[in-house]
């Protein structure tokens, strides 16, 4: 028996030195091989002999390398990106490589392709493109968060370079916090979660940022309708140290403020703006040792002031209403990769991540002549802050057999502040204050995992593991063992089937209104009264390679959840959250459905069509009389069509069409007259009545976005004009509904916020 040797190394991009994540590396004949890890490293073993090694990555030219294997070998490979001006854009990898990937409810989102899609108000958004994939919903217009396979926005683990981000969207969901210029790779898991991930029930969005160009300085700037951004990357020390910096700022406030002043008066204004900054510094000590520092900070600010002065009963009255909202994310990490041996890759991470939110409202009314003064101010603030460290080890044991182990520790902090001040000089001098700063918990989370990735025969591929977690709070400790299993079986060269089972536990909840989803939603820890939510998910699916770069994926899933929370009936979203445990109900839910995706990755026209059919229900003992009801984001049908077409070598066009069945809302559709009531509110009283929670369906949502990109190559730069229309046929999609009056009768009124919008941006890459 021939002796086996290890082949290992890094796969990087030609020119920049950027490491490529999930690049395929395999031996062409036997298909033995692996994919690069999150740091671009690969390792596998083959018996001594002659081989043709294939290296490939989406959007890059594949490389076939003949190798004579006689000893442990380090092969670092550079792959060159496909030129955008090529007549035929090959965006798929070698079909043999493609089916090698374990595609259990896992999707890779090609970042470069996303930039070709119509940009919203000039901003290409890779995170928002996730919402075009089957199984992923975006909620209603103006609503932030991802809703994946029936899970709420708090059930998604969104990682930036391995560190959780708590609020991933600016401007109520219109833009994500992820600057596309900084993103190298996005992996989305909707099921079949590998054991190395934990802490959320419904999905993992694993985003890797670019390290920065190791060999030359490059950059870009973009001027768009809502925001502008700049990106610079380059070597601090050539071949050793790189830096990648990007910044973005909106300028809605620059025109909203003068517009408000013009419409009202000098003392009135309304403004919104956001900015974000990314910085990443990478240093290569040696082939075995690399250090990365990355940091992200993003900030949003909304504020309005409405002032009125009027005469009443010969007295001058003045009223002012000032309202402010602000929130920010700060994510920082320091990571060290170390190749312990050719088959043992280690990563150490120190990190901190925080999300802060504050809302303030002040109302004053006064009249010197009337001797009246009324002033109240309410403040609400919340903060979640994590810090900790992670240790991850990859052991490349045999070709097709990799083990992963890890330990993660997180020190969490939850804080809440509230104050309600009132002062009045009308008739009597009364002053009241209620409030305080509350520590909502400082739990510790310990996580351990072991994960095996095994290819048993040429056709059977298994990923199995165990994720164990221990959550320690002041009141109670929780523990959870979460088995994970995914299996893929290659029936033939073109057809594969897969199945997966995962158990997930999450130790935090997002307390949000059933009617709104806002950045003021409060992150809270599991407690003795509110145990951690858990889910069990089964999925079955298949993949068919139809040839000519066309493939089809089908998936069916069933997810059962328990420990879900909802506000109790009648509770106000703006109430004091100090005693939040007494204001929520716990219950269970399930989601089941079917997903279908057909995609074309080769040729002048590429894209995909996705369809989801699903049901999502909840059950709480003290809500809806203990009966099952549809969740507010239950959407029966969800369709997305995404197409890009190369019109000319320097012109490409994109089209996105989305359709979703109306989501659910609670609307009293009947009135009842109650008689014989005791004194208090009137002995006969008319009230609204609905037989079921979330009984009403909002109108169906659909929208067409079209765009065209003009590329112009100059000597030292590339200029791109992106022009398009968002909501091209001016569909009025619902933002919210309310019952109003029209010609003396009540009617349902719908408010929409986005009519047809032109979208223009200008980008220079240099």
Partner 1 sequence: MKEIRYLGVLVAVLYLLSGCKEILDYDEDSVTETIVVSGILTPEKAVDIRLSKSINRFDTLGFRQVTDKVIAFYSDDNYLGDLMHLGKGRYYSDQFEISAGKNYSITIMDGALETASAQTLVPHPVKITGLDTTYHFVQGERRIIVKVHFIEPGNAENYYRLELVDEIFVPYLAANKDVRIRIIKIPARVYTDDNWLIRGMGYYSAADKFHDWAGNQFNIFSDRYIQGETMSLELEMDYFRTDSVLGVNRKIYLQSISKDYFYYLRTVMQQSQTASNPFNEPVQIYSNIKNGVGILGGYSLSVDSIVFINHSLIDSLFPGIELPGSLNPGDYFPSAFVGDRNL
Site for partner 1 in 313-332 (CB under 8 A): 321, 323
Buried b (16+ CB within 10 A) or exposed e, 336-362: ebbbeebbbbbbebebbbbbbbbbbeb
Query: How far is C-alpha 212 from the chain's CA centre?
Result: 23
**Minimum separation from the CB atom of position 173 to partner 1 (A):** 13
| Candidates 97-105, 389-397, 477-485, 688-696; binding stretch for partner 1 (CB under 8 A) | 688-696
Q: Which of 50, 314, 680, 716 binds partner 1 (CB under 8 A)?
A: 680
* Token pair recorded at residue 50: 């002659």
- Neighbouring-strand partners of residue 100: none
**Minimum separation from the CB atom of position 731 to partner 1 (A):** 11
**Minimum separation from the CB atom of position 572 to partner 1 (A):** 5
Distances from the Cα of 527 to the Cαs of 358, 581, 644, in angstroms?
A: 24, 8, 49
Query: Which residues ranging from 391 to 430 are in contact with partner 1 (CB under 8 A)?
Result: 428
Query: Which residues ranging from 106 to 145 are in contact with partner 1 (CB under 8 A)?
Result: 142
**Minimum separation from the CB atom of position 682 to partner 1 (A):** 9
285 binds partner 1 (CB under 8 A): no
- How far is it, in rounded angstroms, from Cα 517 to Cα 127? 18
Question: Phi, psi at residue 425, to the nearest 5°?
Answer: -110, 15
Query: Which residues ranging from 22 to 51 are in contact with partner 1 (CB under 8 A)?
Result: none
| Candidates 29-37, 365-373, 494-502, 676-684; binding stretch for partner 1 (CB under 8 A) | 676-684
| Candidates 31-39, 606-614, 670-678, 716-724; binding stretch for partner 1 (CB under 8 A) | 670-678
Q: Which of 85, 481, 491, 687 binds partner 1 (CB under 8 A)?
A: 687
**Minimum separation from the CB atom of position 139 to partner 1 (A):** 16
Query: Which residues ranging from 358 to 377 are in contact with partner 1 (CB under 8 A)?
Result: 361, 363, 376
Closest CB to partner 1 among residues 68, 572: 572
What are the E-state strand segments in 161-217?
A: 163-164, 169-170, 175-176, 183-189, 203-209
- How far is it, in rounded angstroms, from Cα 480 to Cα 468? 6
Provide DSSP, 106-163. EEEE-HHHHTTSPPBTTB--HHHHGGGSTTEE--STT--S-EETT--GGGEEEEETTE
Query: Which residues ranging from 516 to 575 are in contact with partner 1 (CB under 8 A)?
Result: 516, 566-575
Closest CB to partner 1 among residues 14, 256: 256
Closest CB to partner 1 among residues 603, 699: 699
Closest CB to partner 1 among residues 78, 366: 366
**Minimum separation from the CB atom of position 124 to partner 1 (A):** 21
Q: Which of 49, 475, 674, 712 binds partner 1 (CB under 8 A)?
A: 674
Query: Which residues ranging from 292 to 311 are in contact with partner 1 (CB under 8 A)?
Result: 302, 304, 306
Closest CA to 117 of 601, 551, 598, 709: 709
* Token pair recorded at residue 646: 């190369």
- How far is it, in rounded angstroms, from Cα 582 to Cα 578? 9
Query: Which residues ranging from 619 to 638 are in contact with partner 1 (CB under 8 A)?
Result: 623-625
**Minimum separation from the CB atom of position 559 to partner 1 (A):** 25
267 binds partner 1 (CB under 8 A): no
The owner of tokens 């029966």 is 636
**Minimum separation from the CB atom of position 753 to partner 1 (A):** 4
Residue 664 and residue 696 in contact, taking contact as beta carbons nearer than 8 Å: yes
* Token pair recorded at residue 602: 């080769």
Residue 356 and residue 383 in contact, taking contact as beta carbons nearer than 8 Å: yes
**Minimum separation from the CB atom of position 671 to partner 1 (A):** 5
Residue 42 and residue 23 in contact, taking contact as beta carbons nearer than 8 Å: yes
Closest CB to partner 1 among residues 666, 717: 666
| Binding string, residues 637-666; x marks residues near partner 1 by CB under 8 A | -----------------------------x
Q: Beta-carbon neighbour count of residue 680 at 10 Å? A: 7
| Candidates 241-249, 284-292, 500-508, 678-686; binding stretch for partner 1 (CB under 8 A) | 678-686
Distances from the Cα of 428 to the Cαs of 77, 355, 365, 408, in angstroms?
A: 80, 42, 16, 58
Mention every residue, 6+ apart, whose C-beta is less than 8 A from residue 187.
Answer: 22, 106, 107, 108, 109, 204, 205, 206
Query: Which residues ranging from 154 to 183 are in contact with partner 1 (CB under 8 A)?
Result: none
Provide DSSP, 409-451. EEEEEEEEEEEEEEEE-SSS-EEEEEEEEEEEE--EEEEEEEE
Query: Which residues ranging from 576 to 595 are in contact with partner 1 (CB under 8 A)?
Result: 576, 578-579, 582-583
- Neighbouring-strand partners of residue 584: 567
| Binding string, residues 474-513; x marks residues near partner 1 by CB under 8 A | ---------------------------------------x
**Minimum separation from the CB atom of position 125 to partner 1 (A):** 18
Instruction: Work out the angle at residue 249's Cα, subtended by the Cα atoms of residues 115 and 247, and round it to the nearest 5 degrees.
Output: 70
679 binds partner 1 (CB under 8 A): yes
Query: Which residues ranging from 722 to 761 are in contact with partner 1 (CB under 8 A)?
Result: 732, 735-739, 742, 744-755
Q: Beta-carbon neighbour count of residue 700 at 10 Å? A: 16
| Candidates 46-54, 334-342, 466-474, 671-679; binding stretch for partner 1 (CB under 8 A) | 671-679
Provide DSSP, 650-665. TEEEEEEEEEEPPPEE
Closest CB to partner 1 among residues 31, 511: 511
Instruction: Work out the angle at residue 399's Cα, subtended by the Cα atoms of residues 397 and 402, and round it to the nearest 5 degrees.
Output: 45
* Token pair recorded at residue 1: 């028996």
**Minimum separation from the CB atom of position 41 to partner 1 (A):** 46
- Torsion-angle region of 226 (φ positive above 0: left; ψ -120 to 50: alpha; else: beta): alpha
Give the count of residues interacting with partner 1 (CB under 8 A).
83
Closest CB to partner 1 among residues 472, 753: 753
- How far is it, in rounded angstroms, from Cα 172 to Cα 145? 9
**Minimum separation from the CB atom of position 171 to partner 1 (A):** 9
Burial class (CB in 10 A: 0-12, 13-18, 19+), 54: buried
**Minimum separation from the CB atom of position 384 to partner 1 (A):** 21
Buried b (16+ CB within 10 A) or exposed e, 109-123: bbbbbbbbbbbbbbb
**Minimum separation from the CB atom of position 425 to partner 1 (A):** 15
In the DSSP assignment, the letter for residue 548 is T
Q: Which of 26, 55, 57, 272 binds partner 1 (CB under 8 A)?
A: 272
**Minimum separation from the CB atom of position 565 to partner 1 (A):** 12
Closest CB to partner 1 among residues 239, 688: 688
Closest CB to partner 1 among residues 646, 694: 694
Q: Which of 515, 626, 648, 712 binds partner 1 (CB under 8 A)?
A: 515
Query: Which residues ranging from 245 to 264 are in contact with partner 1 (CB under 8 A)?
Result: 256, 259-260
Q: Coil, strand or helix: which one is 566?
A: strand
Closest CB to partner 1 among residues 405, 725: 725
Q: Which of 671, 712, 714, 758 binds partner 1 (CB under 8 A)?
A: 671
- How far is it, in rounded angstroms, from Cα 602 to Cα 58? 11
């Amino acid at each position: 028996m021939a002796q086996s040797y290890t082949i290992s190394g890094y796969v990087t991009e030609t020119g920049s030195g950027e490491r490529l994540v999930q690049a395929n590396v395999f031996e062409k004949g036997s298909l033995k091989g692996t994919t690069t890890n999150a740091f671009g490293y690969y390792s596998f073993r083959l018996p001594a002999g002659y081989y043709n090694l294939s290296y490939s990555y989406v959007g890059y030219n594949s490389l076939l390398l003949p190798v004579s294997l006689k000893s442990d070998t380090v092969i670092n490979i550079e792959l060159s990106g496909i030129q955008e001006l090529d007549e035929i854009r090959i965006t798929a990898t070698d079909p043999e490589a493609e089916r090698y990937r374990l595609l259990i409810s896992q999707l890779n989102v090609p970042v470069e392709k996303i930039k070709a899609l119509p940009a919203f108000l000039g901003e290409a958004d890779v995170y928002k493109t996730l919402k075009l994939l089957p199984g992923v919903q975006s909620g209603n217009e103006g609503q932030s968060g991802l809703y994946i396979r029936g899970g709420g926005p708090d059930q998604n683990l969104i990682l930036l370079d391995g560190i959780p981000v708590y609020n991933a969207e600016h401007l109520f969901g219109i833009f994500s916090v992820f600057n596309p210029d900084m993103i190298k790779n996005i992996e989305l898991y909707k099921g079949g979660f590998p054991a190395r991930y934990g802490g959320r029930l419904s999905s993992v969005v694993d985003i890797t940022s670019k390290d920065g160009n190791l060999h030359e300085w490059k950059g870009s700037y973009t001027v768009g309708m809502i925001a502008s951004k700049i990106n610079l990357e380059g070597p601090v020390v050539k071949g050793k140290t790189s830096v990648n910096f990007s910044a973005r700022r909106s300028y809605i406030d620059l025109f909203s403020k003068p517009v408000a002043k013009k419409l009202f008066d000098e003392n009135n204004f309304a403004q919104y703006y956001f900015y974000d900054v990314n910085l990443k510094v990478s240093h290569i000590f040696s082939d075995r040792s690399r250090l990365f520092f990355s940091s992200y900070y993003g900030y949003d600010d909304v504020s309005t002031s409405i002032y009125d002065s009027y005469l009443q009963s010969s007295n001058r009255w003045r009223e002012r209403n000032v309202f402010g909202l602000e929130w920010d994310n700060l994510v920082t990490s320091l990571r060290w990769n170390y190749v312990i041996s050719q088959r043992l890759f280690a990563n150490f991470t120190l990190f901190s991540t925080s999300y802060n939110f504050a809302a303030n409202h002040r109302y004053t009314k006064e009249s010197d002549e009337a001797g009246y003064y009324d002033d109240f101010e309410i403040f609400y603030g919340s903060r979640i802050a994590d810090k900790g460290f992670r240790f991850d080890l990859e052991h490349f044991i045999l070709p097709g057999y990799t083990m992963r182990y890890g330990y993660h520790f997180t020190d969490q902090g939850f804080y809440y502040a509230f104050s309600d001040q009132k002062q009045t000089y009308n008739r009597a001098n009364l002053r009241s204050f209620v409030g305080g700063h509350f520590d909502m918990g400082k739990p510790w989370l310990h996580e351990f995992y072991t994960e095996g990735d095994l290819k048993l025969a040429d056709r059977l591929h298994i990923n199995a593991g165990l994720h164990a977690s221990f959550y320690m709070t002041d009141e109670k400790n929780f523990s959870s063992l979460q088995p994970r299993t995914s299996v893929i079986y290659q029936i033939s060269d073109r057809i594969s089937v897969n199945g997966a089972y995962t158990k997930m536990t999450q130790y935090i909840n997002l307390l949000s209104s059933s009617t709104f989803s806002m950045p003021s939603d409060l992150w809270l820890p599991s407690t003795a009264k509110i145990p951690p939510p858990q889910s069990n998910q089964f999925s079955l699916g298949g993949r068919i390679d139809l040839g000519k770069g066309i493939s089809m994926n089908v998936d069916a899933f069933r997810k059962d959840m328990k420990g879900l929370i909802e506000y109790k009936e009648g509770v106000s979203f703006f109430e004091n959250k100090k005693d939040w445990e007494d204001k929520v109900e716990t219950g269970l839910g399930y989601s089941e459905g079917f997903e279908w995706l057909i995609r074309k990755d080769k040729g002048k026209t590429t894209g995909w069509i996705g369809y989801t059919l699903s049901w999502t229900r909840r059950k709480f003992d003290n809500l809806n009389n203990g009966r099952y009801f549809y969740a507010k984001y239950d959407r029966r049908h969800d369709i997305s069509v995404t197409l890009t077409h190369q019109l000319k070598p320097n012109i490409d066009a994109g089209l996105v069409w989305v359709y979703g069945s109306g989501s659910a809302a609670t609307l009293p559709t009947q009135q009842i007259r109650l008689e014989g009531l005791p004194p208090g509110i009137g002995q006969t009283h008319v009230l609204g009545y609905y037989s079921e929670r979330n009984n009403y369906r909002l109108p169906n949502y659909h929208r067409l976005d079209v765009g065209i990109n003009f590329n112009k190559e100059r000597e030292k730069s590339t200029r791109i004009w992106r022009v398009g229309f968002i909501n091209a046929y001016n569909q009025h999609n619902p933002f919210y509904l309310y019952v109003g009056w029209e010609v003396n009768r009540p009617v349902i009124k719908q408010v929409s916020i986005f009519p047809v919008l032109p979208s223009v941006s200008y980008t220079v890459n240099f």
